Amino acid sequence: MLFYFVSLLALQLVSGTSYTQSDSHTGIGFLKSFSYQAIPDPTHGRVNYVDAVTAANENLTYASGDHFVLRTDFWSVLDPDGPGRNSVRIQSNKQYTTSVMIFNIRHMPQGCGTWPAVWTVGEDWPNNGEIDVLEGINDQGPNQATLHTTAGCTMPDWRYEQGNALLDDCDALINSNAGCGVKFFDTRSYGPIFNDNGGGWYAVERSEAGISVWFWSRDAGTVPHEVEVGNETVDTDNWGESSAYFPNTDCDMTSKFGPHKIVINLTLCGDWAGSAYGDSGCPSTCEDFVNNNPWAFEDAYFDFQWLKIYT
């Protein structure tokens, strides 16, 4: 058993390596590098994902300097028999395998009924896997990072990480697609607390050795300088213990995760936020609240300072 623990620790310590910046997105760069997915919400949320023209006309996405904002409608009362609240789902034009991604985020969507997510996914889901970097519901932090795969990918009970491991089986076709998630220790990693502290940095490293996700709050004194400034090169060995760590000990990363695109979206209610709504201290029912309280979604927006990708 001791050898097993030491082996896991050694794997985490050697998995870090040096990467060189290949892509950098700031402000209008997001609009050039991502495409809009005006599709029915796969998670059955009370949203209507719009196309680029509608998003621009309604100011649901806009770029100014080093701000890229993605938000939901916050002025329309909805017909309960009509479409959901206008919102946005975008996907990167490029796809990635072994890489590091750093998301510098000032603000994330908050409020009852919200379900924001920043994640990566392969084609023919779940056959090429999914990595949820930032995700939560109804202001119920802290952040949760999760993997979703086909059968045959599990996580060990003990891992070198700053988070609480949840289910250990990543199979998307069991446990109502809960996947194998990790709840972060840092309460500043999600929702109003994240926003009150000016946001922070999320980073995800994907390699054959495993997948790691880090979070540093804007007011933390431990942010690696290369992360803070978006350096041309990064070395994940310098970043310390990750918030969530998914090793390859019982999961073949090369077969379970194919080329991934980055997805940023904001849904409302749906399979997770809707089912947990009654336990979140929120009023009414989720769909009724979304339909009749547009003002409640004024703070339901992302504000990205930049996204940098290293390979």
Encoded tokens for 204: 């995800």
Q: CA dist 257 to 122, 200, 210, Å?
A: 7, 27, 11
Give dist(CA 148, CA 96) in Å, integer: 17
184's CB contacts (< 8 A; 6+ apart) are 142, 143, 144, 145, 162, 163, 190, 215, 243, 244
| Largest Cα span, the chain | 61
Which one, of 87, 107, 93, lies nearest residue 43 by Cα? 87
Q: CA dist 128 to 113, 134, 137, Å?
A: 29, 19, 25
Give dist(CA 274, CA 272) in Å, integer: 5
DSSP-derived 3-state class of residue 134: strand
1's CB contacts (< 8 A; 6+ apart) are none
Active site residues: 130, 135
Write out the E strands in 136-291. 144-148, 163-165, 180-184, 200-207, 210-217, 233-235, 244-247, 261-268
Which one, of 220, 221, 223, lies nearest residue 203 by Cα? 223
Check if the beta carbon of residue 44 is closer than 8 Å to that of residue 271.
yes
